[in-house]
Amino acid sequence: MSRAVVVVAAGSGTRLGIGDAKAFVPVAGEPMLTRAVRTVVTLAEPTVVVVVAPEARLDECRALVAAVAGPAVDLTAVVAGGADRHASVQAGLDALPDGIEWVGVHDAARCLTPAAQFDAVFARARETGDGVVPALPVTDTVKRVDGDVVVETVDRSALVGVQTPQVFPLARLRDAYAVAVQSETDDAGVYRAAGGTVRTVPGDADAFKITTRWDLARAEALVASRTGAAATGAAAAVPVVRVGLGVDVHAFDAASPCRVGLLDFPGEPGLSGHSDGDAVAHAVCDALLSAGGLGDIGGRFGTSEPRYAGASGDVFVHGAVELLRAAGLVPTSVTVQVIGNRPRIGARRDEMQSALAAVVGAPVAVSGTTTDGLGLTGRGEGLAAIATAVVRPV
């Protein structure tokens, strides 16, 4: 066997804001890493696979890779990543067995990359003997700026956006990494800095990198469209996603600590309730249960159960997610509208979204509004929240 793919899956996913290592974040119920590895192990030409994973999650990653690799499990290995992408790729290259001539380096976050792209890049590399990367033309107008001032328009005709896998002769890529004096943003940069030639082949729009919550939503939509297109006959009538609505309202209680959207707001009056009164978390819980046809928070957790006295909102959100999972469903996105005069959530919106997303396991979007003095929220008597959740079968 003369070729291999190093799947880089050690990134933290900070910009994604899900609160998990990015490669383990699900896309339509399956971790990105599962989708990426499945594509490689099912390529027509047998390919050795090395996965570079976070050191703290090696056992979990090995189990995941073994589950997806099946009969090809003997051709796979999982190793710990380094302090940055450069070090992680080096660790993956060092783990490759003898006899490998060509290696592709692939980002797990490009988990929807089609198999044809792998074959095209490897074929061109063997044909030319050079490094080869998939690339797409830059379609937006590109400006060079100084601060917020536009300096000039850059000619985009000579620009491309590159993807993965990026394929190279293994021995020469190892040498390039060994002599690199600085980290590059991709493997082609390392290879070219060492004097190697890098060529391009046409990329694929589906091979985009999931970096932000918008990217994740795009990936979910793409999987949904593929699933819908594949459905025929009676199966075509089965909805790909299910939507639920949750609403919660709590009165203010100055004697209670203020907790909204899983965040503490010191100095603000709290919300009354048997638990912590977190109207946002409770609305999210109800929306998730509603989407799954699983009842509501009162029916599932009770309104006066002693074990939930003072319980944090994440207990109920996590419980709803587990009930969905038991029903064969997973969340894909949640949106929440917070209605009230206080506390002000604008400055902490990103923090709240991340905290909720970490429990839901999917992107959460939060917005806030007031009622211009109307109703109980307008009079400052309490806080309301309306949440919408989208779930799909595992």
How many CB atoms lie under 10 A from the CB of residue 218?
15
Report the sign of the C-alpha dihedral through residues 116, 204, 6, 31, in that order. Answer: negative
Place of tokens 């779930």: 391
DSSP state of 301: H
- The pair phi, psi for residue 184, each rounded to 5°, is -110, 165
Task: Confirm if 329 and 298 have CB atoms less than 8 A apart.
Answer: no
Token duo for residue 14: 């900070």
Of 349, 354, 300, the C-alpha closest to 322 is 300
Report pLDDT for 138: 87
Residues 6+ apart with CB under 8 A from 95: 50, 77, 79
| Residue at token pair 């007031």 | 370
Q: What is the pLDDT of residues 31-43, one digit of tens each?
A: 999 999 999 999 9
Between the two ends of the chain, the Cα-to-Cα distance in Å is 35
The string of pLDDT tens digits covering residues 172-195 is 999 999 999 888 899 999 999 999
Integer-rounded Cα Rg, in Å, for the chain is: 24
Average of per-residue pLDDT across 136-144: 89
CB distance 245 to 296 below 8 Å? no
Which of 133-137, 139-143, 269-273 has the highest mean predicted lDDT (pLDDT)? 133-137
pLDDT in tens, 69-121: 887 788 889 999 998 999 999 999 999 999 999 999 999 999 999 999 999 99
**pLDDT over 70 (residue 1):** no
d(CA 382, CA 375): 10
> Cα dihedral angle (367, 370, 375, 377), rounded to 10 degrees?
70
What is residue 238's predicted lDDT score, i.e. its pLDDT? 45
Task: Show the CA angle centred on residue 212, arms to residues 200 and 242, nearest 5°.
Answer: 115
- In whole angstroms, give the CA distance from residue 16 to residue 109: 11
What are 307-320's pLDDT values in tens digits?
Answer: 778 788 899 999 99
Rounded to an integer, the average pLDDT of 276-295 is 92
Compute the distance between CA of residue 392 and CA of residue 387 in angstroms, rounded to an integer.
17
Q: What is residue 71's predicted lDDT score, i.e. its pLDDT? A: 79
> 53 — phi, psi (to 5°)?
-125, 165
Q: Please tell me what DSSP assigns to residue 278.
A: -
> How many angstroms from the chain centroid is the CA of residue 295?
28
Other beta carbons within 10 angstroms of residue 117's beta carbon come to 23
Predicted confidence band at 237 (pLDDT cuts at 50, 70, 90)? very low
- Residue 309, token pair as written in the block: 């006295």
Cα angle: 86, vertex 89, 93; to 5 degrees? 135
Distance CA(84)–CA(102), nearest Å, equals 23
| CB 146 within 8 Å of CB 79 | no
pLDDT (average), residues 196-204: 95
Whole-angstrom Cα distance, residue 314 to residue 378? 27
State the pLDDT confidence band at 23, using cuts at 50, 70 and 90: confident
